[in-house]
């Protein structure tokens, strides 16, 4: 059985670093993930998510065109969930827990929980803080 190239993205992200984006320049650079404040959801989104999901969360980041399936439009999560932001599903998708719902991410997305754990010297509370603040920031992006 052969793994598709997209299935190898999480593995490569862990081994070789992750893609980061200079959103204004619309360029993608490969390298280790930058260290950001776990308290700043906007800073983490720009550093870790915008390359694929775009600066405004619409799935139009500079790396999106290289993907087989387009990244999720994060601004429509509430609209697609009967007006309720699916915080738990977004958290699970970012953390990379097994069995994550396909509607809110895929196995092709880097496993950020593992990456955050490596940045946080294995402190679960800091990993939780990072993911929770990132989820909260994504919630602010929802189309009203």
Domain assignment of residue 113, given as a range: 5-140
Predicted pLDDT of residue 34:
86
User: What is the structure's pLDDT at 98?
Assistant: 55
The whole-model pTM stands at: 0.74
User: pLDDT tens, 22-59?
Assistant: 444 455 566 778 889 999 999 999 999 999 999 999 99
Q: Which residues make beta-bridge pairs with 18?
A: 31
Residue 52: which residues within 8 A CB-CB, separation 6 or more? Answer: 19, 59, 61, 63, 64, 67, 71, 109
Which pair of structure tokens corresponds to residue 116?
Answer: 């955050």
Helix, coil or strand: residue 88: helix
Which pLDDT value is given to residue 107?
A: 58
**How many domains does the structure of the chain reveal?**
1
Residues of the chain under the 50 pLDDT cut: 1-25, 100-105
């Amino acid at each position: 059985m052969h793994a598709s190239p997209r299935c190898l993205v999480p593995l490569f992200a862990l081994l070789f670093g992750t893609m980061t984006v200079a959103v204004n320049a619309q360029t993608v650079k490969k390298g280790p993930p930058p260290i950001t404040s776990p308290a700043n959801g906007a800073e983490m989104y720009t550093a870790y998510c915008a390359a694929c999901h775009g600066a405004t969360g619409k799935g139009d980041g500079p790396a999106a065109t290289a993907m087989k399936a387009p990244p999720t439009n994060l601004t429509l999560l509430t609209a697609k969930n009967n007006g309720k932001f699916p915080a738990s599903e977004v958290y699970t998708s970012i953390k990379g827990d097994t069995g994550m719902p396909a509607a809110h991410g895929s196995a092709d997305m880097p496993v950020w929980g593992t990456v955050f754990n490596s940045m946080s010297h294995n402190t679960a509370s800091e990993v939780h803080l990072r993911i929770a603040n990132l989820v909260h920031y994504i919630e602010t992006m929802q189309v009203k």
